[in-house]
Structure 1
């Protein structure tokens, strides 16, 4: 993880080469401190200092913690993994999927504690509005007896969805002409022959053959396409 000091902050370049696969198994990365007490993050990819030019991570808030007011010049996308995450726009409980547009500002906090999977500076300026989806209350689409999907966001830049694979699922080999990103929300997924537990994160270059199987069942977040590239 190369880094250099810039104006007393740490500039980080981590997993920013999109021409090579990145395979991070759950538990391989650990949580580290942020400038705010009670807030920790587990980084998967990042370029920048505290105002990241691009970042993907899990962020964990202790009960009663908060983050200072800040803006998102490149927008913000997140899904609540545990607890309730709050800001000026409302309270977002486990399963909520949120997209805050380019230039949005907020001051996050939590009463009970929470954890989110969050992507920064990856939304286009053509998305002017906030978007909220409660995945706990939205009907999933059945693909077959072992596979259900819940679209989160579709555009010319990306196709983002949750996929539920039941025990015994075996996919055919798929090849996409865009970058593919997968985050394991629950269970265990076998991807290209390797096992990935909860909180595993992968990114594959375009034209990478991908197969998914599961013996016990799993739910994954999958994004095809990079969204707005801010490097």
Structure 2
């Protein structure tokens, strides 16, 4: 893969239904990727969906600027443990592993986007972890990790609940969202499971809401400010 720039301008808002994207081959047999954001060649700052076929693996590699992933389907594994659907993992700078799967899996993964000072490895099984009250009625949060202004959480909206990203440490560092279940309304868009949103200037956006309720992965406080037009 040559040096690729895909949605690499972090000041630009993006909304993508990932289910419409093709699966592209990786260097490992049986491992395919849907590219959402990338700046680099095979070693890149990247946000992707990665699909492992049953009994596939990836060679041992080092995450020189960290990795975080959320297991969407199946069970992902490495020499440190097994991570079924619903597990969130943050591996710090300099960590390494040799991932594999027995039955196949799909993960949402961000590479080379953690802070060097954040040296704590975190593994959270969100199926068993407790929800916390959110900033308004009908909103629950589950912290997944973070450092400084950068924070990652699961968010659960009850039907008809709404969330302003600035209520969850957005505004100065934007928000990034991956919809896991239900349907999230962003302005005039209805975003179902698999939709990925990057909202750098989220203070200019209308509240996120859900008529039927939804659960989404949310990262805030990590994007530069922008005055560009929204998509």
TM over 0.5: yes
Deviation of 1:155 after TM superposition, in Å, equals: 2.3
Say yes or no: does 1:197 pair with 2:189.
no
Confirm or deny: 8 A CA contact 1:161 1:223 kept in the other structure.
Answer: yes
Deviates more, 1:171-180 or 1:158-167: 171-180
Q: Deviations over 1:138-171 (max 9, x none)?
A: 1101335522111111321302111011222234
Question: CA 1:164–1:135 in structure 2 vs 1: closer, same or farther (change >3 Å)?
Answer: same
Q: Per residue, is there more helix in 1 or in 2?
A: 2
Q: Which residue of 2 aligns with 1:6?
A: none
Q: Which residue of 2 aligns with 1:122?
A: 113
Q: Which residue of 1 aligns with 2:129?
A: 138
Say yes or no: does 1:87 pair with 2:78.
yes
Q: Which residue of 2 aligns with 1:5?
A: none
Q: Which residue of 1 aligns with 2:65?
A: 74
SS of 2:205's equivalent? coil
Q: Distance in 2 between matches of 1:22 and 1:13?
A: 14
Deviation of 1:172 after TM superposition, in Å, equals: 5.3
Q: Which residue of 2 aligns with 1:33?
A: 25
1:34-183 to 2 correspondence within 5 Å?
34-52=26-44, 54-143=45-134, 146-171=138-163, 174=166, 176-183=171-178
Q: Which residue of 1 aligns with 2:205?
A: 209
Q: Any stretches of 5+ residues in structure 2 without a counterpart?
A: 224-231
Deviation of 1:173 after TM superposition, in Å, equals: 7.6
Question: CA 1:80–1:172 in structure 2 vs 1: closer, same or farther (change >3 Å)?
Answer: closer
Question: CA 1:170–1:40 in structure 2 vs 1: closer, same or farther (change >3 Å)?
Answer: same
Deviation of 1:28 after TM superposition, in Å, equals: 2.9
Runs of 4+ in structure 1 over 6 Å off: none
Q: Which residue of 1 aligns with 2:226?
A: none
Q: Deviations over 1:99-137 (max 9, x none)?
A: 111111111100011111100001122122321111111
Let me know the Cα RMSD of the aligned residues: 1.9
Confirm or deny: 8 A CA contact 2:171 2:221 kept in the other structure.
Answer: no
Q: Deviations over 1:41-63 (max 9, x none)?
A: 111100111111x1011101011
Confirm or deny: 8 A CA contact 1:182 1:201 kept in the other structure.
Answer: yes
Q: Any stretches of 5+ residues in structure 1 without a counterpart?
A: 1-8
SS of 2:48's equivalent? strand
Q: Deviations over 1:179-223 (max 9, x none)?
A: 211111111110122111111111112343241111222111111
SS of 1:109's equivalent? coil
SS of 1:27's equivalent? helix
